[in-house]
Amino acid sequence: MSATAETVADVERLNEKYKYGFVTDIEAENAPKGLSEDTVRFISAKKNEPEWLLEWRLEAYRRWLEMKEPDWGKLGYPPIDYQDAYYYSAPKSNENAPESLDDVDPELLRTYEKLGIPLREQEMLAGVKNIAVDVVFDSVSVATTFKKKLAEAGVIFSSISEAIQEHPELVRKYMGAVVPRDDNYFAALNSAVFTDGSFVYIPKGVKCPMELSTYFRINAENTGQFERTLIIAEEGSYVSYLEGCTAPMRDENQLHAAVVELVTHADAEIKYSTVQNWYPGDENGVGGIYNFVTKRALCAGDRSKVSWTQVETGSAITWKYPSCILQGDDSQGEFYSVAIANNMQQADTGTKMIHLGKRTRSRIISKGISAGNAQNSYRGLVKMLPTAEKARNYTQCDSLLIGDQCGAHTFPYIESQNRSARVEHEATTSKISEDQLFYCRQRGIGEEEAVALVVNGFCREVLQQLPMEFAVEAQKLVSISLEGSVG
Amino acid sequence: MLEINNLHVDIDGKQIINGLTLTVPAGEVHAVMGPNGSGKSTLSYTLAGRDGYEATDGTATLGGADLLGLDPEERAALGLFLAFQYPVEIPGVAGMTFVKTALNAVRTARGEGELSALDFLKLVRARLKDLGIDEAMLKRPVNAGFSGGEKKRNEVLQMALLEPKFCILDETDSGLDIDALKIVADGVNKMRGPERGMLVITHYQRLLDYIKPDKVHVLAKGRIVKTGGPELALELEEKGYGDVLAGVAA
């Protein structure tokens, strides 16, 4: 039985089972425009999902219908028409893809060049027709070695669609366990219509033998706008996971709503690093991605640890608060963030540290940089529950302004219900100093490079948390993101 | 080498430099001395091209090239170096990164191409050794938390690395005790040579005990009012600026 025939058969079964029927042609490449139960069924059928997952999605969809889009962020954007969007397109539809790099926006190519990305990789990133990832990495061999090494260690690293087929028991146990499907408006939307994402499982006592990166995951193209990631670290295990890419990816979807869930059991550690560089729109704010992300970690086991590091330079709108629920005693959560907003970009980002366990510790280092007409907000919650005996938090929140048309805002929320818990918060706001720029320029460093140097210095504490190679790229990215912000 | 002719500079509508004329030939070290408010720092900032310090009249050239129309980094590429009175802190930027960025920027502007990482390191180590400075200084963020002496030594180190054609030392002695002063002056003296000119701006004669000038100029009310040999500095030290200033008013 071919895959398509199987899908059709599944859909027919579904048709019998559900009263809502199924009007969309499953052979179609794309789901029809708009969002309805049919869209949800279509996606689930296309992915040949088990029944429980379809039910799960539908429940998320029904909850979403009853929810309101959050409006508390310091963000302004026109209302999003959720019925005027497509929620599923066939993975290989690249009809509009450029034929070669000659057809790609020269601005994008200029950026690739500055980042020093090889030609082949540029083609993949720009979405040029018929470029496969394994061509780019020259190398079935790299992919094979890579897969073999992971398999030997017992690590599962696959797309979430694959995991749903291969490891349904794990997915079913953990999906929604950290971010419930009705957690918030965008998480509910994602739960209803997520198309793909990554799945990682690190068995007990295993230290993952390499950094895992979506960028290197085979068949990573087209993860789509509603990405869903689930990482489980069993007792005593460790993994470092890199998400995103310093190079801007071609993407025609304006709305992105991802969900990331991390679970660490006793003595396990997950280090999760993100570089987000989606299209921010032009200098007048036209175009640009809206990025509404729910990322949360559950430090379930004693002495477990999660560390979030993010470098956010892209997107027109960023709404993102990677969080940690510190449930296990002596568990630790860290959040290191650099958020750069230039031109008309708006970022409202921060973290939540929820302390439940005894002697839990959290550390927040946030560096916000605003330039042009951008607005950049840090929003963070530190919550000490009554059980959080002797818990500790340290928050440092620094803002840097370039020019006088931009804004930086800090919204720290502290709720402490335990008298032995201690919370420290430090915040600074400064303008990039004319003294510093003149000093650099007197030494021969051009104005834009001087700004990049000073800003990289400002972000250093965070950038040094990134894995080495990523950190070097991220520094270049910081420079590129601020181009045109002075002079 | 450095030729300043009839220079006028206004700051916020107030005339600070008022028809200043001064020539420093290659191979010579000239001192500019003057009381507070005479325009010493304005002169160094104007020559280096700081925003807000624009000449309203007159010319300034280095090796025949017009300085006043250029950006600060272009002046640096021409070989102009200013040792700051108050070197600026740049948190998070390692000294090594800073000097490497500066050196490569200047080399690129001069069409010499960037140095390889290895050649750069060799050069830095050689200069550190010449000046007796510990490499640890370059691992720290630029000037952040440095003592006054460390900051000035860092200026001299940068000067030695960038090999400028012309150096301006703006009140380099300020904030230094006598031992630090000797060390800094020693570094500056090593930079003296037949191809290089220097302008040492100072309020006190003390620095000139260690950096012997070929000529001493007195700056007052935005102009050079008196020029002489090294003995002029001693005379000023002894009698104060009063006599000279009285002469200007007359």
Looking at residue B208, what DSSP letter applies? G
- What is the four-CA torsion angle of A212, A215, A217, A220, rounded to 10 degrees? 150
Contacting residues of B for A435, CB less than 8 Å apart: 88
Mean pLDDT of A71-100: 73
**Closest residue of chain A to B164, computed from CA coordinates:** A443
Confidence of residue A128 (pLDDT cuts 50, 70, 90): low
Which residue's structure tokens are 């940690």? A324
**Which is more confidently placed, A303 or A473?**
A303
d(CA A60, CA A56): 6
Q: What is the CATH number of the domain that holds B39?
A: 3.40.50.300
**What is the mean predicted confidence (pLDDT) over A97-119?**
67
Three-state DSSP at B52 gives coil
Integer Cα distance of A341 and A406 in angstroms: 9
Output the six-digit token pair for B129.
């050794």
Q: Do B102 and A439 touch (CB under 8 A)?
A: no
Interface of B with A in 87-106 (CB under 8 A): 87-93, 97-98, 101-103, 105-106
pLDDT at A3: 47
Report pLDDT digits (tens) over A330-377: 999 999 999 988 888 898 999 999 999 999 999 999 999 998 889 999
Residue B20 amino acid letter: L
Work out whether the CA dihedral B155, B158, B160, B163 comes out positive or negative. negative
Residue A94: band (very low, low, confident or very high) from pLDDT cuts 50, 70, 90 = very low
Within chain B, how many helices (H) and strands (E) appear? 9, 12
Q: Collapsing DSSP states into helix, strand and coil, what is residue B155?
A: helix
Q: What is the mean pLDDT of residues A400-423?
A: 92
Contacts of A382 (CB under 8 A, 6+ apart): A352, A353, A355, A362, A364, A393, A395, A412, A413, A414, A415, A416, A423, A425
Asked if A259 contacts A294 with a C-beta cutoff of 8 angstroms, the reply is yes
Report the C-alpha gap between A275 and A244 in whole angstroms: 5
pLDDT confidence of residue A29: 65
Other CB atoms within a 10 A radius of the CB of residue B117 amount to 9
Interchain CB distance below 8 Å, A443 and B98? yes
Mutation test of the interface with chain A: which of B142, B161, B170, choosing the one with the most A Cβ atoms within 10 A?
Answer: B142
Instruction: Tell me how far apart the alpha carbons of residues B87 and B84 are, in angstroms, rounded to a whole number.
Output: 5
Residues facing A398 on adjacent strands:
A367, A428
Has residue A40 got a pLDDT over 80?
yes
Give tens-digit pLDDT for A4-16. 555 445 444 443 3
Q: Tokens in use for A28?
A: 């179609």
Here the ipTM equals: 0.96
Q: Which residues of A touch B111 (CB under 8 A)?
A: none
Show which residues on chain A lie within 8 Å of chain B, measured between beta carbons: 433-436, 438-447, 449, 453-454, 456-461
Region A438-442 average pLDDT: 97
Whether residue A329 is predicted with pLDDT greater than 70 in this model: the reply is yes
pLDDT of residue A422: 95
**In the numeric block, which tokens belong to residue A420?**
């032995």
| Calpha distance A105→A132 (Å, rounded) | 20
Q: What is the pLDDT of residue A47?
A: 87
Secondary structure string (H, E, C) spanning chain A: CCHHHHHHHHHHHHHHHCCCCCCCCCCCCECCCCCCHHHHHHHHHHCCCCHHHHHHHHHHHHHHHHCCCCCCCCCCCCCCCCCCCCCCECCCCCCCCCCCHHHCCHHHHHHHHHHCCCHHHHHHHCCCCCCCHHHHCCCHHHHHHHHHHHHHHCCEEEEHHHHHHHCHHHHHHHCCCCCCCCCCHHHHHHHHHCCECEEEEECCCCECCCCEEHHHCCCCCCCCCCEEEEEEECCCCEEEEEEECCCCCCCCCCEECCEEEEEECCCCEEEEEEEECCCCCCCCCCCCCEEEEEEEEEECCCCCEEEEEEEECCCCEEEECCEEEECCCCCEEEEEEEEEECCCCEEEEEEEEEECCCCCEEEEEEEEEECCCCEEEEEEEEEECCCCCCCEEEEEEEEEECCCCCEEEEEEEEEECCCCCEEEEEEEEEECCHHHHHHHHHCCCCHHHHHHHHHHHHHHHHHCCCCHHHHHHHHHHHHHHCCCCCC
d(CA A23, CA A34) in angstroms, rounded, equals 14
Cβ–Cβ < 8 Å for A396, A415: no
Q: Collapse the DSSP code of B132 into the 3-class scheme (helix H, G, I; strand E, B; otherwise coil) and give the result.
A: coil
Q: Say what the pLDDT of residue B37 is.
A: 83
Surface-to-core class of residue A118, CB atoms within 10 Å of its CB (0-12 exposed, 13-18 middle, 19+ buried): exposed
Asked if A290 contacts A308 with a C-beta cutoff of 8 angstroms, the reply is no
Interface residue B84 vs chain A (CB under 8 A): yes
* Chain B hits for A475, Cβ within 8 Å: none
Question: Exposed, middle or buried, A5 (CB in 10 Å: 0-12/13-18/19+)?
Answer: exposed
Number of domains within chain B = 1
CB B156 within 8 A of CB B181: no
Give, as one character, the DSSP assignment of residue B24.
E
Q: Worst-scoring range by mean pLDDT, A92-101, A148-157, A300-309, B21-30?
A: A92-101
Report the distance separating Cα A459 and Cα B62, nearest Å.
Answer: 38
Please answer yes or no on whether B51 and A460 come within 8 Å at the CB atom.
no
- Gyration radius of chain B over CA positions: 18
Residue B135, phi-psi category: left (phi > 0), alpha (psi -120 to 50), beta (remainder) = alpha
Indicate yes or no: CB of B76 within 8 angstroms of CB of A441.
Answer: yes
Cα–Cα distance between A296 and A303 in angstroms, integer?
Answer: 18
CA of B75 vs chain A CAs: smallest distance (Å): 8
pLDDT of residue A78: 84
Which amino acid would we find at residue A185? Answer: Y
Those residues whose C-beta lies under 8 Å from the C-beta of residue A167, and which sit 6 or more positions away, are A156, A199, A201
B163: closest chain A residue by CA:
A443
Closest partner CB to B92 (pick from A445, A449, A458): A458
Confirm if A347 and A385 have CB atoms less than 8 A apart. Answer: no
CA distances, B154 to each of A192, A453, B27 (Å): 60, 18, 23
Q: Write out the residue range of the structural domain in which residue B131 sits.
A: 2-246
Whether A443 and B87 lie within 8 Å, measured CB to CB: no
Q: Does B187 touch chain A (CB under 8 A)?
A: no
SS3 state of residue B7: strand
Q: Which of B88, B91, B141 sits opposite A435 (nearest CB)?
A: B88
**pLDDT value of position A221:** 42
CB atoms within 10 A of CB A193: 26
Nearest to A364 by CA among A334, A406, A399, A330: A334
Distance from CA of A125 to the nearest CA of B (A): 30
CA–CA dist B121, B138 (Å, integer): 11
List C-alpha distances in Å: A28 to A3, A8, A36: 14, 11, 16
- Return the SS3 of B116: coil
* pLDDT in single tens digits along all 250 residues of chain B: 999 999 999 998 889 999 999 999 999 999 999 888 889 999 999 999 999 998 999 999 999 999 999 999 999 999 999 999 999 999 999 999 999 999 999 999 999 999 999 999 999 999 999 999 999 999 999 999 999 889 999 999 999 999 999 999 999 888 788 888 888 899 899 999 999 999 999 988 888 999 999 999 999 989 999 999 999 888 888 888 887 777 665 4
User: How far apart are the C-alpha atoms of A177 and A306, rounded to whole Å?
Assistant: 16
Q: Are the CB atoms for A347 and A375 separated by under 8 Å?
A: yes
pLDDT tens column, A130-181: 444 433 333 344 455 677 788 899 999 888 888 999 999 999 999 999 999 9
Of A433, A449, A459, the CB nearest to B101: A449
Q: Give contacts of B 212-241 with A, CB under 8 A.
A: none
| pLDDT, averaged across chain A | 82
B104 - beta bridge partners? none
C-beta atoms of B158 and A443 within 8 A: yes
pLDDT computed for residue A15 by the predictor: 37
Whether residue A342 contacts residue A375, with contact meaning beta carbons closer than 8 Å, is answered with no
Structural contact between residues A342 and A376, judged by C-beta atoms closer than 8 angstroms: no
